[in-house]
A and B are shown apart, each in its own frame.
Chain A
């Protein structure tokens, strides 16, 4: 589906993708009669195994196409979209980029990102009451509408949420969590899984520090308490101050993937 007025802009509605088609062999499994009089059938399966399988397929496809995939996650309002706008500004056209952006509603983020010149796919999840994360099959369908041969770096802007996206592998190469100085310093210890699962953290909106009682050392300490040795980039996406090391990190990660 294409929305007129945006050359690069592909709009996907989540319901088109909602259920991946899959079949499972019914083996019956191991059966045991319990004391309670019930018959126990062993299942032993990961609840999210369908997602995990799809994520592995995505990873293989991205490897084959030589695309590096970066999954960017954060709570709502941390400045992900501004960060991506400025990041694309810095690394394009040297690196060919595309963006998949997930939101519960609206195409506002895609409207902003398409101005960078990168192909943008917007996913809205509101069809199902607003899914709180992007799952692997949604990424698979969205990536299918992009010319992956013409992409080196695919950035996925996940739904703003520090809980659920951490649980869903989408086939990415690296995960980044964005935290901003207008949030509590203790976010990392409140959402440890997210910070454990990420390969880098960004502390955004540092231009606001003079106006806030924010203890950035404490925030960094909490990040490292949950994930020791993780790189933390303190920057202001708005002013681009401190953005250099973040860009270098992306380039470094990309060169590590190249065969």
Chain B
């Protein structure tokens, strides 16, 4: 059932989009009235279970009735960087292989790539 599978993905991003809108709305200082939020800057690790296009799609739909109406969701994708706990090599993981590139050790630490963070919002002057 392809539609069902697609539905699952979209829904997942829908919940995340709702959280983004909540946090971003919360971040508008109390003393500012009638603000226009132009951008919401988000950092998404490539290992996070989020598809940027789906997230933007959901964000645009549900932002309509909020102070974030018309805001652009700017997604900065973050590479998956790992460090070997044995030989301390650091490298960027580009395919699903999670052992050390150099010494093949399985004891590695993921330094980045799991982000799902709101970095900032930008308000029109």
Task: Report A187 CB to chain B, min CB distance, Å.
Answer: 11
Interface-facing stretch out of A93-101, A220-228, A251-259: A220-228
Per-residue CB contact flags for chain A residues 11-23 toward chain B (1 = under 8 Å, else 0) read 0000000000000
The reply to whether B98 and A192 form a contact with Cβ atoms under 8 Å apart is yes
The reply to whether A28 and B30 form a contact with Cβ atoms under 8 Å apart is yes
The reply to whether B106 and A228 form a contact with Cβ atoms under 8 Å apart is yes
Which chain A residues (51-78) contact chain B, with CB distance < 8 Å? none
Known: A38-B39, A192-B98. A24 touches B26 (CB 8 A): yes
Residue A44 contacts which of B16, B24, B39, B117 (CB distance < 8 angstroms)?
B117
The reply to whether A47 and B121 form a contact with Cβ atoms under 8 Å apart is no
The reply to whether A48 and B116 form a contact with Cβ atoms under 8 Å apart is yes
Number of interface residues of B (CB under 8 A): 44
Which chain B residues (15-30) contact chain A, with CB distance < 8 Å? 15-16, 19-20, 23-24, 26-30
Nearest-CB residue, chain A, relative to B19: A47
Known: A38-B124, A39-B123, A228-B98. A47 touches B116 (CB 8 A): yes
Residue B9 contacts which of A29, A163, A166, A196 (CB distance < 8 angstroms)?
A163
The reply to whether B120 and A42 form a contact with Cβ atoms under 8 Å apart is yes
Known: A46-B116, A228-B98. A163 touches B12 (CB 8 A): yes
Task: Report A26 CB to chain B, min CB distance, Å.
Answer: 5
Q: In the complex, which residues of chain A have a beta carbon less than 8 angstroms from the beta carbon of B9?
A: 163
Q: In the complex, which residues of chain B have a beta carbon less than 8 angstroms from the beta carbon of A38?
A: 38-39, 122-125
Give bound CA distance, A173 to B97, whole Å.
Answer: 25
Residue A48 contacts which of B19, B98, B105 (CB distance < 8 angstroms)?
B19
Interface-facing stretch out of A113-121, A129-137, A233-241: A129-137
Nearest-CB residue, chain A, relative to B97: A225
A215 interface contact, C-beta 8 A: no
The reply to whether B125 and A196 form a contact with Cβ atoms under 8 Å apart is no
Give bound CA distance, A44 to B121, whole Å.
Answer: 10
Known: A166-B49, A193-B49. A40 touches B11 (CB 8 A): no
Give bound CA distance, A188 to B95, whole Å.
Answer: 12
Known: A39-B123, A132-B11, A163-B9. A45 touches B49 (CB 8 A): no
Q: List 12 A-B contacts (CB under 8 A).
A: A38-B123, A43-B23, A43-B27, A45-B118, A161-B8, A167-B48, A167-B116, A192-B47, A196-B47, A196-B110, A225-B98, A228-B99
The 5 closest A-B pairs by CB, nearest first: A228-B106, A28-B29, A38-B122, A164-B12, A192-B96
